[in-house]
Amino acid sequence: MPALIQATQCEQFREQGYFVTEPMWSSSALDRVRAEFERLHGEHIRRAEASGDAIQIDLARTRPFIGQAHTRSEVLKDFARSPIYLEACAHFVGPDADLYYNQVVSKPPEHGKHFGWHQDSGYMVTKPLAYITCWTAISRTFVENGCIWVIPGSHKRGLLPHARNQVDQSWDAQNVDESGAIPVPMEPGQVAIFSSLMLHKSGANVSRDVRHGYVPQYHVPGIVEQATGKRFGDQFPVLRGGLPV
């Protein structure tokens, strides 16, 4: 099978902290994933409404994040082992790799909220620290519907301090120098593969199009939370000895 990731992309990852692939799936495969997103989003809203928590209801409707999607959908469980993800693991994680975390991130049209600058490693400091995020466009993503933005080379700054945003309970990176920030629009099926130390954000969805993204992250097996030494993450094996599990 020909390589899906080129040497130039590996170099861009090292120097800039990210790169974007070509579209990696057929339209029919993406249609199946979108159908799962719609099902999971509906369930997510119903759970929030049942809680009676106004903040959770608002977030479910305007900025839903549905974690551990592989445990909620057989379609996404298989999707998390797609060849492009496994090849990215082989290049940037190692011959042994686990699904560390994965989530469905949708932005409803005209209501989807922005998400501030952050590093994925800022949410949970792990040992070892860095891993990879594979931000996958399930629908077309562009500036007006809230595509991601990155600051190329920011992964070289190390882990920045993060503080809780009390409005939406996210973690925002502090002391961010936004100079050089660029949007990363993508067509359906493209993947932005980046370091967990890459500073990134996404804008609000002011369009009439829903923005669907699937975001699996991959780490070495056996990672622990640095503060407690306890095992953390999905711990779902995808590679052992360089071979798919």
65 Ramachandran zone, left/alpha/beta (phi>0; psi -120 to 50): beta
CA atoms within 13 A on the CB side of 31: 3
The whole-model pTM stands at: 0.93
Residues across the chain: 245
b or e along 63-100 (b: 16 or more beta carbons within 10 Å of the residue's beta carbon)? bbebeebbebbebbeebbbbebbbbbbbbbbeebbbbb
Question: Read out DSSP for 20-89?
Answer: EPPP-S-HHHHHHHHHHHHHHHHHHHHHHHHHT-HHHHHHHHHS-EEE-GGGT-HHHHHHTT-HHHHHHH
Question: What is residue 86's predicted lDDT score, i.e. its pLDDT?
Answer: 98
* DSSP symbol at 209: S
The answer to whether residues 118 and 200 touch, using CB atoms and an 8 Å cutoff, is yes
Running along the chain, 245 residues long, what does each successive block of 10 average in pLDDT?
92 98 98 95 90 86 86 97 98 98 91 85 95 98 96 96 74 89 98 98 92 97 95 96 96
Domain 17-244 class?
A: mainly beta
Q: What per-residue confidence (pLDDT) applies to 169?
A: 58
What is the pLDDT at residue 157? 93
Question: Among residues 62, 57, 37, which one has the least CA distance to residue 45?
Answer: 57
Q: Report pLDDT for 22.
A: 98
Residues 6 or more apart whose CB falls under 8 angstroms from that of 76 comprise 33, 36, 69, 70, 102, 104, 214
Q: Measuring CA to CA, which residue among 81, 64, 161, 153 is closest to residue 119?
A: 161
